[in-house]
Homo-oligomer: A and B are copies of this chain.
Amino acid sequence: MAQKNRLQYIVLGLLNIESRTGYDLTKAFDSDIGEFWSANHSQIYPLLKKMEQENLISHHEVQVGTKLVKKSYDIMSDGKKIFNDWLEEPSEIDSSHDEFILKLYFIDDKKPELLEKMVAEQLSARSDKLEHLNQQMRDKFPDQDKRQTQYGHYCVLKHAISRETDYIEWLKTI
C-alpha cells in the first residue's frame, strides 16, 4: 500500500494523549516513534489541515510572548472513533515500517484485553513467518557449501531469522 494513511493514526494517537502543535508532533518522530516510523513537518502541517476539515481534530490558539500564536490541535470524537477502530484492526507485517509497534505505543492500561488479543495475533503471525524463514534456510543453505559462495544471501537470511526470533522473544515479554 502507499501506507494506508498510517501517519493519520499516529497523529490521532498523539493528540489522544494530549493537545499538541504541529511542531510538537514533528518532534515526536525524533525520539520514540522515530524508531519505527518517520515523518517530516512538511507532511504533518498539510495533514493537520486536512484532518481538521474532516472534523477528526480541531485546534485552539495559544498566545506565546507578544506576537506568536501557536495552534494546538485536539482530537475530536470522530477522530477518536477512527483511531480506536484502527487499534482493533489486525496489523500488517511490513518488514519496513512496523504497524504493530505503533499501535502498542498508543495502547494504554485501560485496554488489557485488546493488548492481549493484539499480542497473541502478532505472535502467531510472527511465528508463521519465522517458520517460513527457517524453511527457506533449510532449502537454500542445507550445507556449508552454498553458505560460502552466496555469503551475502546467507547473512541476510540469517539476520531475518535472528530478527524474527528476537521479535518473538520480545513479544512474549509484553
User: A-side interface residues toward B, CB under 8 Å?
Assistant: 31-38, 95-97, 101, 104-109, 133, 136, 148-149, 151-153, 155-160, 162-163, 166-167, 169-170, 173-174
Contacts and interface: CB of A to CB of B under 8 A. Distances in A.
A151 B109 contact: yes
Majority DSSP secondary structure for residues of A touching B: helix
A27 B97 CA distance: 21
Contacts of A133: 35
A145 B104 CA distance: 18
Given A36-B160, A106-B152, A163-B163, 8 more contacts: A31-B136, A32-B157, A101-B156, A104-B152, A105-B152, A108-B151, A162-B170, A163-B167
Nearest to A169: B162
